[in-house]
Amino acid sequence: MMNVLVIGTGYVGLVAAAGFAEAGHKVLGVDSDAAKIDKIRRGISPIYEPGLDEMLSRHQASGTLSFSLDIKDGIAQADAAFICVGTPQSEDGSADLQYVLAVAAGIGEAMALRSPDAKPLIVVDKSTVPVGTAARVRATIAARTDRAFEVVSNPEFLREGCAIDDFILPDRVVVGCRTDHAEAIMKGLYGPFLEKSKGQWLRMDPPSAELTKYAANAMLALRISFINEIAGLCEKVGADVDYVKVGIGSDHRIGKYFLNPGPGFGGSCFPKDLQALLKVGRENAHPLRALEATVEANRHQKQVLSMKVKKFYGCDPATPSPLAGRKFALWGLAFKAHTDDIREAMALELIEGLTALGATLVVHDFEAMDNVRAKVGDKVTYAPDPMAACEGADALLIATEWPAYASADLEKVASLLKAKVMFDGRNLFRPETMAAAGWNYHSIGRPTVSPA
Ligand SMILES: NC(=O)c1ccc[n+]([C@@H]2O[C@H](COP(=O)([O-])OP(=O)(O)OC[C@H]3O[C@@H](n4cnc5c(N)ncnc54)[C@H](O)[C@@H]3O)[C@@H](O)[C@H]2O)c1
Does 447 fall in a domain?
no
Region 216-227: what's the mean pLDDT? Answer: 97
- 86 and 51: one domain? yes
- Residue 416's domain spans which residues? 304-442
Specify the pLDDT at position 452.
66
Task: Please check whether residue 448 lies inside any domain of the structure.
Answer: no
Our answer on whether the CB atom of 11 is closer than 6 Å to any ligand 1 atom is: yes
Shared domain for 57 and 197, answered yes or no, is yes
Ligand 1 centroid distance, CA of 205 (Å): 23
Ligand 1 close to Cβ of residue 301 (< 6 A): no
* 154 and 243 belong to one structural domain: no
Q: Is 30 in the pocket of ligand 1 (CB under 6 A)?
A: yes
CB 210 near ligand 1, within 6 Å: no
**Domain end (from 171, 203, 235):** 203
Same domain, 295 and 383: no
CA of 31 to the centre of ligand 1 (A): 10
Task: State residue 450's pLDDT score.
Answer: 86
Do 397 and 412 lie in one domain? The reply is yes
Compute, in degrees rounded to 10, the torsion defined by CA atoms 263, 268, 271, 274: -140
**Domain containing residue 277: CATH number:** 1.10.1040.10
β-sheet with 3-7: strand ranges across:
65-68, 26-30, 3-7, 80-83, 121-125, 149-153, 172-176, 200-204
| Ligand 1 atom nearest to CA at 163 | 3
* Element housing 121 (H / E): strand 121-125
Residue 269 beta carbon below 6 angstroms from any ligand 1 atom? yes
Pocket test of ligand 1: the residue of 7, 9, 11, 157 to mutate, having most ligand atoms within 8 Å of its CB, is 11
Contacts of 451 (CB under 8 A, 6+ apart): 420, 435, 438, 439, 440
pLDDT in tens, 403-438: 999 999 999 999 999 999 999 999 999 999 999 999
The rounded distance, in Å, linking the Cα atoms of 215 and 211 is 6
Q: What is the mean pLDDT of the chain?
A: 96
Is 451 inside a domain boundary?
no
- Do 381 and 436 lie in a common domain? yes
Q: What's the rounded Cα separation, in Å, for the pair 79 and 3?
A: 5
Tell me which of 14, 31, 220 to substitute to probe ligand 1's pocket, judged by most ligand atoms within 8 Å of the beta carbon.
31
**Which bin fits 248, alpha (ψ -120 to 50), beta or left (φ > 0)?**
alpha
- Give pLDDT tens digits for 203-217: 999 999 999 999 999
Residues annotated catalytic, as ranges: 269
CB 381 within 8 A of CB 362: yes
Mean pLDDT, residues 87-116 taken together: 96
pTM score over 0.85: yes
User: Which residue has its alpha carbon closest to ligand 1 atom 29?
Assistant: 32
pLDDT at 36: 96
Return the best residue to mutate from 85, 154, 167 for the ligand 1 pocket (most ligand atoms within 8 A of CB): 85
- The Å distance, Cα 427 to ligand 1 centre, comes to 31
CA 226 to centroid of chain Cα atoms: 19
pLDDT digits (tens, 9 = 90+) for 344-377: 899 999 999 999 999 999 999 999 999 999 999 9
Q: Tell me the mean pLDDT in the region 269-297.
A: 95
Domain boundary among 258, 277, 301: 301
Instruction: Check pocket membership of 84 for ligand 1, CB cut-off 6 A.
Output: yes
Which segments within 210-352 are labelled E, that is strand?
Answer: 327-331
- Name the pLDDT band for 245 (thresholds 50, 70, 90): very high
Sheet holding 440-442, edge to edge: 381-382, 360-364, 327-331, 395-398, 421-424, 440-442
Reduce the DSSP state of residue 217 to 3 states and report it.
Answer: helix
My answer on whether 36 and 23 are in the same domain is yes
Q: Are residues 287 and 354 in the same domain?
A: no
Closest CA to 19 of 198, 165, 202, 200: 165
Rounded-to-integer distance, Cα 8 and Cα 82, Å: 9
User: How far, CA to CA in Å, does 393 sit from each of 156, 230, 419?
Assistant: 42, 32, 8
- DSSP per-residue letters across 129-162: --TTHHHHHHHHHHTT--S-EEEEE------TTS
Atom 18, ligand 1: residue with shortest CA distance: 10
Atom index in ligand 1 nearest the CA of residue 269 equals 43
pLDDT tier, 43 (very low <50, low <70, confident <90, very high otherwise): confident
Question: Distance, CA 87 to ligand 1 centroid (Å)?
Answer: 7
> Per-residue pLDDT averaged across 104-115, rounded?
97
Task: Mark whether 23 and 36 lie in a shared domain.
Answer: yes
- Supply the pLDDT for residue 451: 80
